[in-house]
Amino acid sequence: MIVLRRRLLILVWLLLARCVAQTAASDNDYFVYLVCEGADKVAIVKFGLDGAKVDHLVNTRVLPGGDISGPHGIVFSPDRQYYYVTIAHGRPYGQMLKYRVKDDAVVGQVSLGFFPATVDVTPDGNFLYTVNFNLHGDMVPSSVSVVASDEMIEAKRIPTCVMPHGSRINPQG
């Protein structure tokens, strides 16, 4: 557990600007949410006047047995009430889980393409865009999944380049 915590703290510093969610716990406290692909966890790290510590871990395992599900991307809804995690591994397709921030409960789930990686949300919070990083077989064009965030349904799958691994939505949407 100590080794896991040390590794998480290193990741925190590397990913700090990416996944911060403010809370009302204290004006001096803030939280960073990190996906841990090899451990099937989201680590919630609290930063405050006393330093940084792992506040709690959230299980993201969706595959049975000992198979790694592989959480890969994370993004918060604009109102900070929900966060979305892409699950890269599947048989054969990956998934996206919708969590409620106040209790880390899964409140939605949707199947996506092969190996969904990074995810971003439109400024209005209505849609999520996830690149599907196809690692199966030949290097062929893959796709971007467009997910309606309230209903958690894949509204569109857009063909794209070979093996996309990251993308972002600009502030104008």
Which residues are CB-neighbours of 20 under 8 A, at least 6 positions away?
A: 30, 31, 32
The pLDDT score that the predictor gives to residue 33 is 95
Most confident stretch, 10-19, 86-95, 114-123: 114-123
Per domain, the residue ranges of the chain are 2-12+24-162
Query: Distance between alpha carbon 56 and the CA centroid of its chain, in Å?
Result: 16
Name the pTM for this structure: 0.81
pLDDT digits (tens, 9 = 90+) for 21-54: 443 445 678 899 999 988 899 999 999 888 999 9
Q: Which residue has the higher pLDDT, 67 or 46?
A: 46
Q: What is the pLDDT of residue 122?
A: 96
Q: Look at the domain 2-12+24-162 and name its fold.
A: Methylamine Dehydrogenase; Chain H (2.130.10)
Beta bridge partners, 84, equal 75, 98
